[in-house]
Amino acid sequence: MLFVNTLGSFFVLLRLSTAVSDATGSGLLAGGVLSAPWLPALILAPFLNRVLGEREPGRLVRIAEATSLLLTASLAMLPVSGTTLVVVAVSVVLARGFFEAMTRSATSVLLRRIVDAQRLNRANTFAEIGKLAGTSAGAAVAGPLSGPLGLHAFFALGALTLCGSLLLAATLPKAGPGAGEEGAAQERPRRLRLEDPALRRLFSLFMLVAFWQGFHTVAVNVVPRDVLGGGTSLVGVFVALSAVAIFAGSFAALSAQRRLTRIPAEVWAIAPMAPLAAAIAIARVGPTLAGYLIFLVLFEVAYVAYNNRLLAQARPEEVPVVVTLRATLLPAGVIVSILTVGLLSDLAGPLVAVLAVVAVTVLVTAAPWLGRRAR
């Protein structure tokens, strides 16, 4: 279901960002369209947290998918075109972003409630692979179809994929409250805050992944052009190999589930830094590509490791908070990272940007020890 949902939403979003770029000539606005769906969930995070904790997750998925279908189908039937259609479509995409966040967050809550502890990590990893596959397939579909098909046709295809994901959502099993969750809800109000210090620590490490993701969004253009001195063709190769490396990281994490739980969480924060720094410092096509691809594999392993640990270790009443923060703070972290790393790269060069990534990673990872020494 997540594969079908992500495929449809991403190829519509990508086509809409292209339309904005064509209409305005602004890469910034086009990039803003790609980031726009994250904003509603961030603004409505307390509401999302509340409904995730109070409502049956399978029903939330069906409501979210049905609403997304209605919004997308309305765009396909809208009797306007040109700039008016683009403006209306961007507004609808903003609204739909909240329901996409609800679908993905409620799916995680559902997995936690219906999958036993021994299989939870594997199920979460398969969900991550499904989202990655949907994004990649959506990008692959959007490119060839952008020429022959207009925006209305893209919205119609998006609605068709949402029909498929809604049908799949209808087959989801019903899950009641997690063990102990009803009592916890009566004892205190649901706050959008992680009470467990260990979970807060894990989430701070998870935020590093968002920081790396923002860096990677900038690096897919900066590394092949500014570090390696290549052109458009090298950017294309870099993007394609990056997608393969991220998939490889997901499958590596899937095959190493038991080892991931035995290794200290801090290892996955530090491990990707050495190949990243080496890749940028060497600045030669072969070694740079090899080092950067190793970084991406470890980057995805770290994402899976932190995501799985958070969902597995959270108490039942804290699962809605975890998935709400994941759906809101992580995208916000990506946006902040893109702006910061992009500015650093433009002003001081890619090597300084990489050193900033390494420095932030080391400081966040070492924060508990630095705090103890300060006391």
Query: Could you identify the residue written with the tokens 């530090």?
Result: 270
Cβ atoms 2, 134 nearer than 8 A? yes
What is the reported pTM?
0.83
| pLDDT (tens digit per residue) in 292-308 | 999 999 999 999 989 99
pLDDT higher than threshold 60 for residue 186 = no
Q: For residue 180, what pLDDT band results from cuts at 50, 70 and 90?
A: very low
What's the rounded Cα separation, in Å, for the pair 82 and 23?
9
**pLDDT recorded at residue 300:** 93
Pair of tokens at residue 202: 């894990």
Which residue did the predictor score with more confidence, 301 or 15? 301
Q: Return the structure tokens found at 325.
A: 């923060």
Distance CA 259, CA 275 (A): 21
Q: Name which of 299, 274, 273, 277 is nearest 352 in CA terms.
A: 277
Q: Of 26-30, 203-207, 249-253, 281-285, which range is least confident?
A: 26-30
